[in-house]
Structure 1
Amino acid sequence: MDTGSQTGIAGQRVDIGCRDGVILGGHLWPAVGRCDGTVIINPATGVLASYYHRYARFLSAHGFQVLTYDYRGIGLSRPARLRGCGYRWHDWGALDFEAALIFAREHDPLLPVAVVGHSIGGFLPGFAESAPGIDRMLTVGAQYGYWGDYARSQRRSLFWKWHSTMPALTAVFGYFPGRRIGWLEDLPAGVANEWSFRRARMEHSYPAPERKEIIARFDAVQAPILAIGMSDDPIGTPAAISRGLSYYRKANARQVTITPGDLGLEAVGHFSLFHQRHASGFWLDTLLWLRDGTNPWPQRLCPAPAF
């Protein structure tokens, strides 16, 4: 696992305790030189935290303390038996991100805390009780997996993959065997099914008694949000990102859609913005937002969410 040893900047292995007793595995990356704040990196669904270690190392080298961690059921936070563990997508926000945020605050209470959230990782903060303590958010392809927002050209194949095949395999195995078939990491059944059966109105995926509190928690988030999407991302489309942002009603949210050409590339998609090749371009641009709240792509602003 890449913990930053290639450049001498290493992530320290840490354990993060959740209020229900689950222990999450993660790494804390110290800032080099003056520290401008703490950044928590929230992964996409079924993606190991180690996938973001290169970006964490980059942020560390540019003056940020960084916390990376695996959600319950994934990577360093996987239990001995995944079948029957009962973990849900909702838990990743209400329990896991909540614990990561408390850990970051307690580690250094004087530092501002920013969140970088990839895919579902940019939506999960709204479930956390302590999310009003976030100072700034940067999201990348952030949405909550409603199939109707997938790119029209790939909607049928993506629906078959994530909303037909995934729940079928989950029913057979008792968890989603993603690693076995080369579709990301294994997932707890509750996480897989919450994705597969997600409704257009996110709160309608949960029992009626929970909905009011969920909406209230999203309303409590007032941190500025810069939501980045790629024009060739079939999952994090402009409509999908707008739908997710519409729940952060009290936040100053800005949405931008970047083209691969803006980055000097022919294709980018949903995942590759966290590849090392972006260190001298996109990654440097993200520092403008994380440090100063400056949108590096004002010419790419999208209309406000209309949901």
Structure 2
Amino acid sequence: MSSLETFPPLPAASNTAHAFCERAGDGYPLGGFCWRHQLPDSSRPVVIINAATSVRCSYYARFAQYLFSHGFDVMTYDYRGIGESRPAAMRHFKASWTDWGALDFEAMLQRAAREFPGQPVDVVGHSFGGCAAGLAPSSAQLRRLVTVGAQFAYWRDYASDSRWQLFGKWHVLMPLLTRLFGYFPGKRLGWLEDTPAGVVKDWSTRTAAYELRPSGKALVDLPFAQVTAQTLAISLTDDPFGTVAAIERLLGYFRSSPRSHLRIAPGDIDEVQIGHFAFFHSRFQARLWPIALQWLQQGQLADDVPGRVLTLSEP
């Protein structure tokens, strides 16, 4: 599986971006970056990028710059507890997956409505970031949604050839270390960023239903069903998290959205490996990024798109 550590570090922002601080509904300060065109245009979409669990928003800076160069305004941000939104002390800091969607992503939607009034709002969600798109109370306003490897870590959905290795790492060792330290010290282990204990509980809980995670709510109270955005789920065949079962499990929650699932094998673009993280690496700017761009621009796939479109299983 591709890892973040194999890639060169990305700048926190390019010279076209500016940093911002936005307070969530509960007052928590969230740090992020915005790529904004000088002249306002109510027809220009603004794209919010939702990061994967415990991945800093700076990882998506080049992809954000790419979207900006193709006519979008773009916002990236860190969830509470991560990167630009990290507290002074992580031990026993309270945050959960549902907080990341219902409070933090919601804050970005509120900022977009205020800073870009009247503009369409699109989202690109990586891994859990795709799930977060369905947790915000204002998510009904979304126009288009692109997810990459998006799922919520149900362990039986992991790829069969690495399932037990991933189970031991993320569902046994990670919660044990979290109990010891009061948070998951991922950075010193080279396993992504340090992670709040509540997020670890959500990730490591062994249930197939998001609403049964520790921070979940009754399904009727989750905003997923109000999302009507044209949705493209991109998955990679060598992503051990983003299997067909995992992708479709999350897509099932977006039942009011028109949904497409594009499954890409590395060989489809003459590569050996892509994995869970590398879609957003700049070496794929010419071969993978245009897929997301066209969906955001037109809500459809090109005729010559690599991979194959899967028919979604019946619920």
Q: Is TM (by shorter chain) over 0.5?
A: yes
Kindly report which structure 2 residues correspond to 1:78-93, keeping only aligned pairs within 5 A, or say none: 78-93=86-101
Query: 1:11 pairs with 13, 17, 23, which one?
Result: 17
SS in 2 for 1:41: strand
Instruction: Provide the rounded CA distance (Å) in 1 between the counterparts of 2:230 and 2:140.
Output: 11
Provide the TM-score with structure 1 as the length reference.
0.94
Contact preservation (8 Å) 1:127, 1:214 = no
Contact preservation (8 Å) 1:13, 1:27 = yes
Where does the alignment leave 5 or more consecutive residues of structure 1 unmatched? none
CA shift digits 1:174-201 (9 cap, x unpaired): 0000001111100000001110114111
Instruction: Provide the rounded CA distance (Å) in 2 between the counterparts of 1:256 and 1:18.
Output: 33
Amino acid of the structure 2 residue aligned with 1:2: P
Amino acid of the structure 2 residue aligned with 1:21: G
Shift of 1:10: 2.1
Amino acid of the structure 2 residue aligned with 1:263: I
SS in 2 for 1:290: helix
Contact preservation (8 Å) 2:127, 2:149 = yes
Shift of 1:207: 7.3
SS in 2 for 1:126: coil
Shift of 1:169: 0.2
Contact preservation (8 Å) 1:32, 1:60 = no
1:69 aligns with 2:80: no
**Corresponding residue for 2:299?**
293
Contact preservation (8 Å) 1:41, 1:69 = yes
Instruction: Provide the rounded CA distance (Å) in 2 between the counterparts of 1:32 and 1:282.
Output: 28
CA shift digits 1:121-178 (9 cap, x unpaired): 0111111100001110000000011101000000000000000000000000000000
Amino acid of the structure 2 residue aligned with 1:18: A
SS in 1 for 2:79: coil
Aligned-residue Cα RMSD (Å) equals 1.7
Instruction: Provide the rounded CA distance (Å) in 2 between the counterparts of 1:212 and 1:265.
Output: 40
Query: 2:185 pairs with 166, 177, 181, which one?
Result: 177
4+ runs deviating over 4 angstroms: 32-35
Contact preservation (8 Å) 1:32, 1:61 = no
- Residues 92 and 60 (structure 1 numbering): CA distance in 2 closer, same or farther, change over 3 Å? same
Where does the alignment leave 5 or more consecutive residues of structure 2 unmatched? 1-9
Amino acid of the structure 1 residue aligned with 2:101: G
Give the structure, 1 or 2, with the largest relative contact order (CA under 8 Å, sep 6 or more): 2
SS in 2 for 1:110: coil
The structure that is helix-richer by fraction is: 1
Amino acid of the structure 1 residue aligned with 2:180: V
Shift of 1:298: 8.3
Query: 1:214 pairs with 221, 227, 231, which one?
Result: 221
Percent of paired sites with the same residue: 46
Provide the TM-score with structure 2 as the length reference.
0.92
